[in-house]
Structure 1
C-alpha cells in the first residue's frame, strides 16, 4: 500500500485534463467511464478517445448519452446501456464486456448523484450508497477478469471532499432506522468510494490492478448539483451574486477542465506507477487531515483506514451478493 502523503507532482490544482494527457498515446487501450457523457466524465472520456483509446460509456439514458457525444462522432466512443441502481443491468453489461474478449486497461467509476431526497432502489438500498458505491462495487467485480487480462490496469473511483460529511455507518448504511440526511448520505457514499479504492488495490496489486480515489474539486456547472436550489448553490461560495461560477483552483473551485485533471492523472500518470490505494486531489496524493477546524483539504482518517476498507468490502459483498471468486 502506498503511503498517503503528497509526492513531487509535475501538476497542480490549476492543471487541466488536457495538460495531463498531452503526449500520451492510448492506442490499443480500452477504457470504461461511468457517467462519461456529462461533466468531468465526458471531458475525460473524449480526451482519452482523442489520444487513441477505445472508450465505452455505460449509460442509464442511452439517448441522452448519444446526444452528448454527437460532437465527437469521429472518436472511438461506444454507448452501452447500464443503470448503477439496477444489479441486473450491471451484470448484463459485465457479461457483454466479457463476451467481447477485450481486456480493460482503465475503469473510471465516475457517475454519482448528490444530496438527493430519500430514494431507494428495488432492494431497499438508499440511492446515493447504491449508485455511488454499491453499483460501482458490483461493476468492478464484474469487470475484474478483464482488468486482470490487461496485465497492467487502473481503477479510478471519483470520491469527493464531501466525505468530510459522513463516515460509513455499518449498523445502518441505508437509513432504515436513523433519520435521513441527504448530505450525511452523500458523505457516507464518498467515504465508501475512498475506502473501496484501498480494498481494490489490496486485492488487485498482484495482478497488476492498481486503484485510486480522488476529489476532483468543486465544480457547480455539472448535473451533480441538480438537487440543489440556486440559493443552496450560492450558499456554498462557489458562485458569485449573479450565479456565475467562481474559478479559484487553489481553493478548490474549478472549471470542468481543471476538475477532470485529477481523474486523468490517476488514470494515466507515470508518476503513480507502482503506487495505489491512495486518495488524491489537485493532481497529487492528498495528505491526511486530522482536524476538522476549517481545514477543507486532504482525506479524513476514516476514509483511508485499511481495516475499515476491509469491513466495507465484506459489507458490500453481503449487500450485493457479488464478490471475487
Structure 2
C-alpha cells in the first residue's frame, strides 16, 4: 500500500475562507458539462447548484423530498430533479440506472447530502443512519454511476466531509454501534472520516481513468443540518436555537477562522474542487478554505486541517472492502 499523499498540504491557492463562490467561478464555463449534486435543494447544496447552473452546467438533483426540491429549484436554468433516498438502496439503484442508461457522460458528482448528530436510527439493512446516509449511500451511488463517470474522460467526484471527522475514526469492528453504546457525535465523526477516506480510495481506483476524488470541509456554516441538535448541543457551540438556521453574528468565536461562513463562502471550496485547474493531475486530497488542507498530527491541537486517520490509504482500503460487503456493490474498473 502506498504511503500518505505527498500533495496533502496547502498549494497555496491564493484563495481563502472568505472567498465567495462567485470568485471561484468567475472564469469558469461549464457549458455542456453534466453534474449530479446530492442534497442540492437546501443549504450548501442549493448554493452549489446555483453556482454550477449559472456557469452553464446541466445539473440533476436527486431528492428524498421531490416536492420540496421542486419548489427550491424552481426557476434555475438547466436543473432537473429526480427521486432518491440515500437510506434506500433500491431508490439509489433506480436513480443511477436511469441516469447511466441515458448514455451521457457525468463530468461532476458532488456528494453533498448529509445528516448530523441524529438520534439512533437504522436503515432498512440495519446500518446506523449517519454512516448509512453520509457514507454507504454515497458509496453505492458512486459505484453505480461509475460507467457515466468513465465516459467523461476527466471527471471529478467531490465528497463533503467536515472538521467533525476529528471526533472519531472509523470503527471497523463496530461501525453500526451494535456492540458499543450509541454516541451521536462519535457516529457523526465516524461518518465524516469515512467521507474523507472514500475520496482517497476512489481516487486510487479512478485516477488511471481520469476520475479524481476530493474531500471537502466547507467550513462552519449554519444550515438545516442542525435540525436534530438539542438545546445542550446549541449551548456547547455557543449558539441559541434562534440563530441556528441563519448566519451567525460575525463576531462569534468558533474554532475555525473566528467566525461562521455564509452560504456562498461555504460552497466555494466545493466549487473550487469541482472546477479549479489548480487541481489538474491531483486527487485523493482533503481540502478546506479553497485550498488543500494541512495534516494535523494526532497529538497536535486541532484548529482546522485534517487528522492523519482520515487520509490514511490503508484505512481507505479497509473502508472500501467493508463498504462493498455492507452494500453488496463492487466496482469493476
TM > 0.5 fold call: yes
Contact kept in structure 2, 1:155 and 1:267, CA below 8 Å: yes
1:207-248 deviations in Å (ceiling 9; x for gaps): 00000001111111x110000135522431367997660336
For the aligned residues, what is the CA RMSD? 1.7
Contact kept in structure 1, 2:155 and 2:210, CA below 8 Å: yes
1:181-200 aligned within 5 A: 181-200=183-202
State the Cα distance separating 1:267 from its structure 2 match: 0.5
2:292 is the counterpart of 1:285: yes
State the Cα distance separating 1:64 from its structure 2 match: 0.4
Contact kept in structure 1, 2:298 and 2:308, CA below 8 Å: no
Structure 1 stretch displaced more, 102-111 or 286-295: 286-295
Q: Paired residue for 2:268?
A: 261
Consecutive unaligned residues of structure 2, counting only runs of 5 or more, are: none
Contact kept in structure 2, 1:9 and 1:284, CA below 8 Å: yes
1:111-260 aligned within 5 A: 111-220=113-222, 222-237=223-238, 245-247=248-250, 250-251=257-258, 253-260=260-267
Structure 1 stretch displaced more, 136-145 or 228-237: 228-237
Change in 2 beyond 3 A, CA 1:75/1:168: same
1:109-148 deviations in Å (ceiling 9; x for gaps): 0000000000000100000000000000000000111001
Alignment partners' CA distance in 2, 1:223 and 1:66? 18
1:75-114 aligned within 5 A: 75-114=77-116
Alignment partners' CA distance in 2, 1:93 and 1:309? 26
Contact kept in structure 2, 1:279 and 1:285, CA below 8 Å: yes
State the Cα distance separating 1:8 from its structure 2 match: 1.7
State the Cα distance separating 1:101 from its structure 2 match: 1.2
Change in 2 beyond 3 A, CA 1:240/1:321: closer
1:3 aligned residue (4, 7, 10)? 7
SS in 2 for 1:217: coil
1:315 aligned residue (315, 322, 330)? 322
SS in 2 for 1:260: helix
Q: Paired residue for 2:43?
A: 39
Aligned length: 322
State the Cα distance separating 1:69 from its structure 2 match: 1.1
